[in-house]
Amino acid sequence: MKRKTGAALVIVVAALALVGFMNATRQPPALPQKGYRAPDFTLTDLQGKTVSLSSLKGQLVYINFFASWCPPCKMETPDLENMYKKYGNKIDFLAVNMTPSDSLPAVKAYVSTYGVTYPVLLDTQGNVESTYAVMDIPTSFFINRQGIIINRVTGMMSPAVMQSDFAQLLATH
């Protein structure tokens, strides 16, 4: 009886090792959660320039989904602008406006009012919002150089949380 149990245990361990090896050699699937590859997208910024996430391959990236009418977004934006001034030379910042529930004049007024100097992209069809499963705003994604999401934050971040998350992103390789 012991011999059968021992043989079964060896088979189970070998099977688990094989599954682990197979999973380790595959690319992470596109899923907008921590530990998964950030889905690619292409949007236009306020100046009409086309920007794609894939064009930032090998860079650290921060994406913030927002709307001009969102009170927590308004509260968070001055702190994000400060983080951009501090880290914008090391991290690519992208703001993605949820344009189907907003308007271009309101977005432009928001950018002017809050002095936003990082790129603001227009998700006019809501496709990126949908792909990233953004249900609440603001929602932020911190993406490492390999294109993997290292953190997803739903809701407004305090300056201390931002500082911690940006430091964590900078510490990735």
Any bridge partners for residue 63, and if so which?
A: 94, 141
86 domain residue, yes or no:
yes
Number of domains within the chain: 1
**Tens-level pLDDT at each residue, the chain (173 residues):** 555 555 554 444 444 444 444 444 455 445 588 999 999 999 999 999 999 999 999 999 999 999 999 999 999 999 999 999 999 999 999 999 999 999 999 999 999 999 999 999 999 999 999 999 999 999 999 999 999 999 999 999 999 999 999 999 999 86
5 domain residue, yes or no:
no
User: In Å, how far are 63, 75, 108, 141 from 91, measured between CA atoms?
Assistant: 10, 22, 23, 12
2 domain residue, yes or no:
no
Domain that holds residue 41: 29-170
142 domain residue, yes or no:
yes
92 domain residue, yes or no:
yes
Which CATH number goes with the domain that contains 76? 3.40.30.10
